[in-house]
C-alpha cells in the first residue's frame, strides 16, 4: 500500500522549500502527498520577500476536507506563522489524527533570516503542538530558541539539548547538527530508548534550500510506511544526503539552491 502523507506548511513559489519540497520528498519516497497551505510566501533562493496568511477558518477547512475523505498515515507540520494557526492545527490533530504519526519541523526563521513564526506562535508551539509530536526535528538555532539557551557547540551539548526537548512532550527528537563545523554532519536522535547518532559526510555546497522541510517530510513518509522512528530517521538521513550530493545537476536561482529530490541514488523505504 502507498501511504497517504499530509503536509501542513507554507508555500514556496520557487519550489525549493515548504509545501512544494514536501510534495516532492513524499513522492520520491513512495507516498501519496496531500497538503494544507498555512501561508503564502513570496520567496526565491535569495530569501523571503513577503508573507500572506489565509484566514484560519480556511486553513481548518482545508484540513477537514482531507480528513473527511482520505485516510492519513502520517502528518508533517512545517510553517505555522502565528499562535492562532498553531492552536487550530493542534486542535485538528487532537480531534482528527490522535493516533497518526506527526512530525513537527519547528520552522521559525528562514535561511535568509526572515521570521516565520511570531513570538505568540512560539509559545503555542511549545505548550500545545510539541506535546502532540511523534518526532520533533529542530536544527541547532531552533533548539536553542525553544530552550532559551545558546546553540549547542559539541556533541555532548547536542545530547543534553535533545534530551531537554523531549521533556517538552515530543516522543522523540532529531536534533540536526548541520550548523556545526567538521568533516561529518551529525544528527542526534533522542528517544525513550536513549541516544542514537546519525552521520554522513559533510557536503560543501550552497544548495541547501529546503533541506529541513525535505528531511521532515521524508521521515513522515517513512513513518507512514510503518518504519520505527529510528529507522525512519536513518533512511531519511541517507535520502537527504543523496539529494544534496546531486543538487549540482540543478540550475535554480543564484542564492541557496534547492536539493535534487528525484535523485536515483537512494532507497525509498
| Active site residue ranges | 176, 208, 210-213
Question: Cα–Cα distances in Å, from 28 out to 63, 121, 168, 226?
Answer: 23, 31, 32, 17
Identify which of 189, 200, 131 has the alpha carbon closest to the alpha carbon of residue 163.
189
Strands (E), the chain: 4-11, 32-44, 47-52, 74-77, 102-104, 135-136, 172-176, 184-191, 194-201
Residue with cell 534530551: 163
Residue with cell 496531500: 34
Identify which of 92, 98, 95, 89 has the alpha carbon closest to the alpha carbon of residue 117.
89
Question: Which cell goes with 4?
Answer: 497517504
Ordered DSSP codes for 32-78: EEEEEEEEEEEEETTEEEEEE---HHHHHHHHHHHHHHS--SEEEE-
- Checking phi first, is residue 15 left (phi over 0); if not, alpha (psi -120 to 50) or beta? left
Residue with cell 511549545: 126
Q: How far apart are CA 46 and CA 31, in angstroms?
A: 30
Contact indicator for 217, 21 with CB cutoff of 8 Å: yes
Amino acid at each position: 500500500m502507498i501511504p497517504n502523507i499530509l503536509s501542513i506548511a507554507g508555500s514556496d513559489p520557487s519550489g525549493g522549500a515548504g509545501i512544494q519540497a514536501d510534495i516532492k520528498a513524499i513522492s520520491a519516497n513512495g507516498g501519496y502527498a496531500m497538503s494544507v497551505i498555512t501561508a503564502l510566501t513570496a520567496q526565491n533562493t535569495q530569501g523571503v520577500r513577503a508573507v500572506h496568511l489565509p484566514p484560519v477558518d480556511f486553513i481548518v477547512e482545508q484540513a477537514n476536507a482531507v480528513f473527511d475523505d482520505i485516510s492519513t498515515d502520517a502528518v508533517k507540520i512545517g510553517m505555522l506563522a502565528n499562535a492562532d494557526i498553531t492552536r487550530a492545527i493542534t486542535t485538528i490533530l487532537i480531534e482528527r489524527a490522535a493516533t497518526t504519526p506527526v512530525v513537527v519541523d519547528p520552522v521559525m526563521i528562514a535561511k535568509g533570516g526572515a521570521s516565520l513564526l511570531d513570538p505568540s506562535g512560539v509559545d503555542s508551539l511549545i505548550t500545545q503542538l510539541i506535546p502532540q509530536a511523534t518526532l520533533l526535528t529542530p536544527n541547532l538555532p531552533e533548539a536553542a530558541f525553544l530552550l532559551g539557551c545558546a546553540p549547542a557547540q559539541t556533541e555532548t551539548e547536542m545530547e543534553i539539548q535533545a534530551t531537554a526537548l523531549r521533556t517538552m512532550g515530543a516522543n522523540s527528537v532529531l536534533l540536526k547538527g548541520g550548523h556545526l563545523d567538521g568533516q561529518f554532519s551529525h544528527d542526534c536522535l533522542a528517544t525513550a530508548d536513549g541516544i542514537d547518532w546519525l552521520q554522513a559526510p559533510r557536503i560543501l555546497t550552497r544548495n541547501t534550500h529546503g533541506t529541513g522541510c525535505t528531511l521532515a517530510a521524508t521521515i513522515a513518509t517513512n513513518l507512514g510506511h510503518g518504519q520505527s522512528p529510528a529507522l525512519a530517521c536513518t533512511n531519511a538521513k541517507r535520502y537527504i544526503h543523496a539529494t544534496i550530493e546531486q543538487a549540482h545537476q540543478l540550475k535554480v536561482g543564484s542564492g541557496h539552491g534547492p536539493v535534487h529530490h528525484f535523485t536515483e541514488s537512494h532507497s525509498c523505504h
